[in-house]
Amino acid sequence: MILLVEDEKDLREVSAELLEVILGSKVTTAENGQAAKELIQDGYSSGDKLFIISDVNMPVMGGFDLADWLHGTDYIYKMILISGYFENLPLAKEKYPEIDFLEKPLDYDKLGLLIEGFGEKAA
């Protein structure tokens, strides 16, 4: 499963479409971390591979809070946090060494390589 979590509707829709074309896989979307959490809990078992691309700053639940929740689960996941500006990026990389960070605007080629490296090919 590839899950894109972005609160800006237009950006979420365009990014999901681009990723589907580039990767050849279906991209599921959520408007915030809480909605993503509910999608994961309702539709996936602990052995499923999840690739999550999440904005950092969103209402209800942001990307770092979603990362904290995921860390306490049994899901096999790879996460990329995206933002137009990362305040204290070195500190974030230290706290979340398993997460990659990309700045907006997204480099879709780099994102595609990260997803392929994780082994996500099937929707």
Q: What is the 3-state secondary structure (H, E, C) of 31-62?
A: CCHHHHHHHHHHHCCCCCEEEEEEECCCCCCC
Give the whole-number percent of the chain exceeding pLDDT 70: 92
Domain assignment present for residue 114? The answer is yes
User: In terms of pLDDT, which residue wins out, 60 or 46?
Assistant: 60
Give the whole-number percent of the chain exceeding pLDDT 90: 41
Domain assignment present for residue 123? The answer is no
Using the predicted structure, report yes or no on whether residue 121 has a pLDDT greater than 50. no
Which DSSP helix (H) or strand (E) runs through 3?
Answer: strand 2-5
Domain assignment present for residue 24? The answer is yes
The predicted pLDDT at position 120 comes to 43
Looking at the 3D structure of the chain, how many domains does it have? 1
CATH of the domain at 57: 3.40.50.2300
Digit-coded pLDDT (tens) for 59-100: 999 999 999 999 888 888 899 998 877 676 778 888 888 888
The predicted pLDDT at position 25 comes to 84
User: In terms of pLDDT, which residue wins out, 16 or 84?
Assistant: 16
Domain assignment present for residue 80? The answer is yes
The predicted pLDDT at position 111 comes to 78
Could you list the residue range(s) of the whole structural domain that residue 63 is in? 2-118
The predicted pLDDT at position 3 comes to 95
